[in-house]
């Protein structure tokens, strides 16, 4: 049985970022925009080597600077 | 009499050194010019006239005694109000700020002081530097000095309008998605967004730290070279500030540029307004006269880069503002609030994918887009200069599309971290606009050499209402 403090399933309080005071239309717009970004991330992930690292970016910058 | 407004920062420093004008005289002129500019453009957040005049008096005394130091001794300047200064609270263009004054200067402020420069004012920015147009729903919108009904570009709006007006020769801004390039283009002046990591961010307001880049806006490219020369370099307070040697950018302003190969991605440029495409062609014609060679190039999928940079920027900014967004959301303006909210909906796995992919896409860009090339050229604004009213979308349903169009040509470059020089297009009596020259990592010296030659063909202008 759910605790009285827990919101019922499907309530806005269980939504992503429920702590933000947003009108429904702005929440929907944010979700729609993020969905397009997420789709791109999914495509990129499929092509990304497992060894890709967050530090690669700095390594590439510095390596380029050290080229003759 | 010396026309102070027409001088570069370096030229004004020389005039002060040579006692053709005193620092006090220059500072008084700057104060009056900033006030006039403010009436027209809303450029000032805080004017610090008395303190600046006291500092100018001290600078004149040091010059008379032969003890003045630095390449900008006694030169009055002003910067975007987002840098820590000991004992002060920078507004960050916002209503929400901590009550605790800064305990030390931002590194870049300290370096300007060490160069001898004075600070006369703290200048307008979009709220929390999170907006590309100059709209600020908390402190009032910035207005363009060429036409006050037009946008200034943002977020470094006050620096750009003050420089364009001739109130100051140069000043600092920052660029997370275009904030040095858009206002420079919209106001018809120049800017340098250095390679990410070239300049310390310590003590600067964080927006999205993995993208934030501190740079300079000026009328003269030689001032970009002069100032980056002392701003760049390692900093124990910012581990991302690289220890790579800093070139003598001023000495290299005369580097040969004939034969430099400039890439043109006609597919990406095709999405710009035809008039903007024409501006790019006109600049390419000038660069061709200077001996640069045009070649075709292709950037990686431009929309993909734009999505990836948002996956970095939005959660980074949302995290920085997490506490205030939960506790004081009504103290934000509607546009910044709506933009910050988006970051809360991005999944951690997508943010990390964008972070992990960044090196791969930078390497791919260098290996393919820049293969056989030195620089690339792109527009900055996709359209002729919009009006303030046209882009007054606040936090409403047109927000993402409108902002996305404004930063279409700037934001993806932040994902790649590449250095970018803004140059104004020939105005021919009309409204200003600009293009960006994008270099390989740490190629700022080459960009400056090209910009210096370009300004012999397209001299700097002082902005006044048309």
Q: What is the overall mean pLDDT for chain B? A: 97
Distance CA A33, CA B364 (A): 27
Å from A2 to nearest chain B CA? 26
pLDDT in tens, A31-66: 999 999 999 999 999 999 999 999 999 999 999 887
Phi-psi bin for B334: left (phi > 0), alpha (psi -120 to 50), beta? alpha
Q: Which token pair is B407? A: 């930063």
Q: Select the residue of A30, A41, A49 nearest B353 (Cβ to Cβ).
A: A41
Residues 6 or more apart whose CB falls under 8 angstroms from that of B73 comprise B13, B16, B17, B23, B59, B62, B63, B115, B116
Instruction: Say if the Cβ atoms of B360 and A17 lie within 8 Å.
Output: no
pLDDT value of residue A9: 47
Contact yes or no for B195/B441 (Cβ under 8 A) = yes
Residue B466 maps to a domain: no
Is the predicted pLDDT of residue B359 greater than 70, yes or no?
yes
From chain A, pick out residues whose CB is under 8 angstroms from the CB of B308. 40-41, 44
Distance CA B153, CA B149 (A): 12
Å from A56 to nearest chain B CA? 5
From chain B, pick out residues whose CB is under 8 angstroms from the CB of A53. 356, 359
Cis peptide before B171 (omega within 30 of 0): no
- Confidence category of residue B376, pLDDT binned at 50, 70, 90: very high
- Confidence category of residue A68, pLDDT binned at 50, 70, 90: low
- Confidence category of residue B302, pLDDT binned at 50, 70, 90: very high
Q: Which CATH number belongs to the domain containing residue B66 in this structure?
A: 3.90.1300.10
Å from B320 to nearest chain A CA? 15
Active site includes B8?
no
From chain A, pick out residues whose CB is under 8 angstroms from the CB of B244. 62, 65-66
Active site includes B191?
no
Contact yes or no for B182/B381 (Cβ under 8 A) = yes
Of these residues, B80, B91, B162, B200, which one is catalytic? B80
Distance CA A50, CA A27 (A): 34
- What share of chain B has pLDDT > 70, as a percent? 100
From chain A, pick out residues whose CB is under 8 angstroms from the CB of B334. none
Angle at B319 (CA atoms; ends B182, B211), nearest 5 degrees = 35
Is the predicted pLDDT of residue B447 greater than 80, yes or no?
yes
- Confidence category of residue A3, pLDDT binned at 50, 70, 90: very low
Instruction: Say if the Cβ atoms of A44 and B308 lie within 8 Å.
Output: yes
pLDDT in tens, B152-208: 999 999 999 999 999 999 999 999 999 999 999 999 999 999 999 999 999 999 999
The domain limits of chain A are: 24-48
Residue B336, domain extent: 4-457
pLDDT value of residue B2: 65
pLDDT value of residue B251: 98
Report the SS3 class of residue B291.
coil
| Residue B182, number of CB atoms within 10 A of its CB | 33
Contact yes or no for B72/B112 (Cβ under 8 A) = yes
Q: How many domains does chain B have?
A: 1
Phi (first) and psi of residue B123, to 5 degrees: -110, 160
pLDDT value of residue A1: 38
Of these residues, B8, B22, B155, B156, which one is catalytic? B155
Is the predicted pLDDT of residue B6 greater than 90, yes or no?
yes
Active site includes B179?
yes
Q: Select the residue of A27, A37, A52 nearest B359 (Cβ to Cβ).
A: A52
Distance CA B410, CA B311 (A): 15
Report the SS3 class of residue A10.
coil
Of these residues, B179, B191, B200, B443, which one is catalytic? B179
pTM comes to 0.96
pLDDT in tens, B75-134: 999 999 999 999 999 999 998 887 789 999 999 999 999 999 999 999 999 999 999 999
pLDDT in tens, B29-38: 999 999 999 9
Compute, in degrees rounded to 10, the torsion defined by CA atoms B16, B19, B25, B29. -50
Angle between helices A24-47 and B399-406 (to 10 degrees): 50
pLDDT value of residue A13: 54
Instruction: Say if the Cβ atoms of A56 and B244 lie within 8 Å.
Output: no
Residue B165 maps to a domain: yes
Residue B367 maps to a domain: yes
From chain B, pick out residues whose CB is under 8 angstroms from the CB of A58. 197, 240, 359
Select the residue from B344, B366, B373 to test the A interface by mutation, using most A Cβ atoms within 10 A. Answer: B344
pLDDT value of residue A2: 40
pLDDT value of residue B98: 73
Å from A68 to nearest chain B CA? 12
β-pair type (B213-218, B170-175): antiparallel
Distance CA B215, CA B420 (A): 10
Å from B263 to nearest chain A CA? 18
Q: If you measure CA to CA, which chain B residue comes closest to A46?
A: B353
Least confident interval from A1-10, B107-116, B272-281, B413-422:
A1-10
Instruction: Say if the Cβ atoms of A40 and B307 lie within 8 Å.
Output: yes
Distance CA B147, CA B465 (A): 5
Distance CA B93, CA B162 (A): 16
pLDDT value of residue B307: 98
Least confident interval from A57-66, B209-218, B301-310, B410-419:
A57-66
Q: Select the residue of B342, B350, B362 nearest A41 (Cβ to Cβ).
A: B350
Overall size of chain B counted in residues: 466
From chain A, pick out residues whose CB is under 8 angstroms from the CB of B353. 41, 44-45, 48
Residue B464 maps to a domain: no
Instruction: Say if the Cβ atoms of B359 and A53 lie within 8 Å.
Output: yes
pLDDT value of residue B46: 97
| Residue A23, number of CB atoms within 10 A of its CB | 9
């Amino acid at each position: 049985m759910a605790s009285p403090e827990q919101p019922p399933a499907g309530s806005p309080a269980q939504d992503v970022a429920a702590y933000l005071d947003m009108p429904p239309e702005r929440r929907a717009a944010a979700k729609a925009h993020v969905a397009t970004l997420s789709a791109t991330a999914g495509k990129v992930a499929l092509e990304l080597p497992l060894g890709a690292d967050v530090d690669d970016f700095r390594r590439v910058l510095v390596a380029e600077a050290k080229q003759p | 009499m010396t026309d102070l407004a027409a001088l570069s920062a370096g030229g004004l420093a020389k005039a002060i050194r040579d006692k053709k004008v005193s620092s006090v005289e220059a500072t008084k002129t700057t104060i009056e010019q900033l006030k006039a500019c403010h009436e027209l453009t809303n450029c000032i957040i805080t004017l610090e006239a008395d303190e600046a005049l006291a500092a100018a008096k001290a600078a004149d005394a040091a010059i008379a005694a032969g003890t003045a130091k630095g390449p900008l001794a006694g030169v009055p300047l002003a910067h975007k109000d987002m840098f820590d200064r000991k004992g002060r609270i920078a507004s960050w263009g916002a209503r929400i700020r901590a009550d605790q004054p800064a305990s030390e200067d931002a590194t870049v402020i300290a370096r300007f002081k060490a160069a001898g420069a004075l600070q006369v004012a703290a200048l307008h920015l979009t709220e929390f530097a999170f907006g590309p147009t100059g709209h600020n729903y908390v402190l009032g919108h910035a207005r363009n000095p060429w036409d006050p009904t037009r946008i200034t570009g943002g977020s470094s709006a006050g620096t750009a309008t003050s420089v364009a007006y001739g109130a100051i020769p140069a000043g600092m801004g920052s660029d997370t998605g275009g904030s040095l390039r858009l206002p420079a283009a919209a106001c018809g002046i120049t800017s340098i967004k250095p390679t990410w990591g070239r300049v310390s961010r310590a003590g600067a307001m964080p927006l999205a730290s993995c993208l934030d880049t501190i740079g300079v806006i000026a009328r003269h490219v030689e001032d970009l070279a002069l100032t980056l020369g002392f701003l760049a370099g390692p900093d124990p307070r910012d581990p991302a500030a690289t220890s790579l040697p800093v070139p003598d950018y001023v000495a290299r302003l005369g580097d040969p540029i004939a034969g430099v190969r400039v890439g043109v991605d006609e597919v990406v440029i095709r999405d710009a307004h035809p008039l903007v495409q024409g501006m790019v062609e006109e600049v390419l014609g000038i660069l061709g006269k200077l001996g640069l060679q045009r070649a075709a190039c292709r950037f990686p999928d431009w929309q993909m880069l734009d999505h990836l940079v948002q996956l970095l920027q939005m959660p980074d900014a949302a995290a920085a503002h997490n506490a205030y967004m939960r506790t004081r959301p009504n103290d934000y303006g509607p546009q910044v609030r709506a933009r910050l909210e988006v970051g809360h909906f991005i999944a951690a796995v997508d943010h990390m994918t964008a972070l992990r992919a960044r090196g791969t896409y930078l390497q791919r860009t260098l290996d393919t887009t820049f293969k056989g090339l030195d620089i690339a050229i792109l527009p900055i604004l996709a359209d002729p200069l919009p009006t303030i009213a046209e882009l007054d979308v606040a936090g409403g349903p047109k927000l993402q599309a409108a902002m996305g169009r404004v930063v279409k040509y700037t934001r993806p470059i932040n994902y790649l971290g590449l250095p970018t020089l803004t140059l104004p297009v020939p105005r021919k009596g009309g409204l200003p606009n600009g293009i960006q020259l994008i270099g390989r990592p740490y190629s700022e010296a080459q960009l400056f050499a090209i910009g210096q030659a370009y300004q012999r063909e397209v001299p700097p202008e002082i902005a006044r209402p048309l």
